[in-house]
Amino acid sequence: MAKVVVGMSGGVDSSVAAIKLLNEGYEVVGLFMRNWDSTINNDILGNPNDLNDICPQEKDYNDALSVCNKLNIPLYRIDFVKEYWDYVFTYFLDELKKGRTPNPDIMCNKYIKFDMFAKKAKELGADFIATGHYARIKDGKLLRGIDSNKDQTYFLSQVSKEQFSNVLFPIGDMTKNEVRKIADEYDLITASKKDSTGICFIGERNFKEFLTNYLPNNPGNIVNIDTNEILGKHSGLMYYTIGQRRGLNIGGTKERMFVVSKDLKDNILYVAAGDENKYLLSYACEIEDVNLLDDLPTKCTAKFRYRQKDNDVFTERLANGNLLIKYSQGVKAVTEGQACVLYDGDECLGGGIIKTIFKEK
């Protein structure tokens, strides 16, 4: 009987993943990952007794334990707090310092869930590892999850082909409604539990309030890019992303403004009003840290952010190992630091991190 170690998060998806594996005849073992020390946040923010306020991992662990007990499978617990800090959180801060928009969940999958977790699973005698991701693997190819609204291949784009070699995605061929229905039939504590959103280490905290503890605020001017008029003050360029409209706190303007660009040298946040296409459209980008899961065709599609529709693109390999991604139709608010993920139909081909944007055709 093949042994599968399942990443039990305390959510409904991993719970049902374990059920499906049991029903398919595998020997199933649960493994809970602790990736962030929520007491760090509370100590810094002056809430030493409020351990569930930031990232309620203890509740998640107890929920995972409840599910495993009900399914009669063992649950182990592993601490990756230091590794998460070194490989994910430090990356997150460094990218923000550069004025870019990072996606720490992508790096968590690459370095923690499909690397360090996999190594620990092997120590436990695993033939396979499994997670509750909405994705599929067929004939060695990474495919989108059947539920297009929940597909998570975007976040798996930096995981290598080798890392996927012994991975199972038991719920990739299910919809979220089907997953919840099974959890309800088994009367699991996670059946109606809300999905986690945002970044775990921030939790329900205000993003600015949290980040101030790690990166000092560096206020500067908010400037109208067309008139060069100073419209207000920003609290730090790291808090803004290209195309953002909300939270600019600009008074006295008749039109809604949106973020156009950041000037790190002079610490200026440029905004504009009017036709977004004039400022936000780009026609190509260079991506670095390229991770390909299959042969790359010249023509395919790309997502430049999660839940974005597919965009037709042409790919070109560069001498430095990066890829040039061209999209003659123009795409709004392609942003440095975000992931560009490439697809051929349902197959995820991998992707890279956006390094440079080109606004000329």
CA distance 210 to 53: 12
Q: Is 340 a catalytic residue?
A: no
Residue 40: per-residue pLDDT: 57
CA distance 224 to 220: 13
Residue 175: per-residue pLDDT: 98
Same domain for 93 and 32: yes
Residue 46: per-residue pLDDT: 41
CA distance 174 to 8: 18
Residue 337: per-residue pLDDT: 96
Tokens 């008029």 identify what position? 229
CA distance 257 to 269: 12
Set 68, 200, 340, 348: catalytic member: 200
168-182, 252-266, 297-311: least confidently modelled range: 252-266
Q: What percent of the chain has pLDDT over 70?
A: 93
Cα 278 to Cα 12, 110, 268, 330, 361: the distances in Å are 44, 36, 20, 11, 13
Which residue type sits at 69? Answer: N
Same domain for 322 and 245: no
Average pLDDT over every residue of 90-105: 94
Q: Specify the pTM.
A: 0.92
Q: How far is CA 8 from the centre of its chain?
A: 18
Which of 302, 275, 274 lies closest to 290 in space, CA to CA? 302
Q: What is the CATH number of the domain that holds 169?
A: 3.40.50.620
Segment 109-164, tens digit of pLDDT? 999 999 999 999 999 999 999 999 999 999 999 999 999 999 999 999 999 999 99
Segment 59-92, tens digit of pLDDT? 899 999 999 999 999 999 999 999 999 999 999 9
DSSP 146-173: SSTTT--GGGGTTS-TTTTTTEE-TTTT
Same domain for 153 and 10: yes
The band of 47, judged by pLDDT with boundaries at 50, 70 and 90, is very low
Same domain for 159 and 78: yes
Same domain for 124 and 70: yes
Cβ–Cβ < 8 Å for 108, 157: no
The band of 45, judged by pLDDT with boundaries at 50, 70 and 90, is very low
Which of 57, 74, 77, 58 lies closest to 18 in space, CA to CA? 74
Name the residue range of residue 338's domain: 280-358
Q: What is the count of structural domains for the chain? A: 3
CA distance 248 to 182: 44
CA distance 347 to 138: 10
Same domain for 265 and 125: no
Task: Say whether pLDDT at 266 is over 50.
Answer: yes
Cβ–Cβ < 8 Å for 135, 142: yes
Same domain for 259 and 138: no
Cα 56 to Cα 7, 153, 166: the distances in Å are 17, 26, 30
Q: Is 55 a catalytic residue?
A: no
Which of 340, 356, 338 lies closest to 348 in space, CA to CA? 340
Task: Say whether pLDDT at 270 is over 80.
Answer: yes
Average pLDDT over every residue of 336-351: 98
φ, ψ for residue 356, nearest 5 deg:
-140, 140
Task: Say whether pLDDT at 53 is over 70.
Answer: no
Same domain for 241 and 337: no
Same domain for 263 and 245: yes
Average pLDDT, the chain: 91
Same domain for 139 and 21: yes
Residue 69: per-residue pLDDT: 97
**Ramachandran bin of 130, using left for φ above 0, alpha for ψ from -120 to 50, beta for the remaining angles:** beta
30: in domain:
yes
The band of 203, judged by pLDDT with boundaries at 50, 70 and 90, is low
Coil, helix or strand for 218? Answer: coil
Q: What is the CATH number of the domain that holds 288?
A: 2.40.30.10
Coil, helix or strand for 120? Answer: helix
Give the pairing of strands 128-130 and 3-7. parallel
CA distance 67 to 87: 30
Task: Say whether pLDDT at 30 is over 70.
Answer: yes
228: in domain:
yes
192: in domain:
no
Set 68, 108, 340, 348: catalytic member: 108
Q: What is the CATH number of the domain that holds 251?
A: 2.30.30.280
Residue 279: per-residue pLDDT: 92
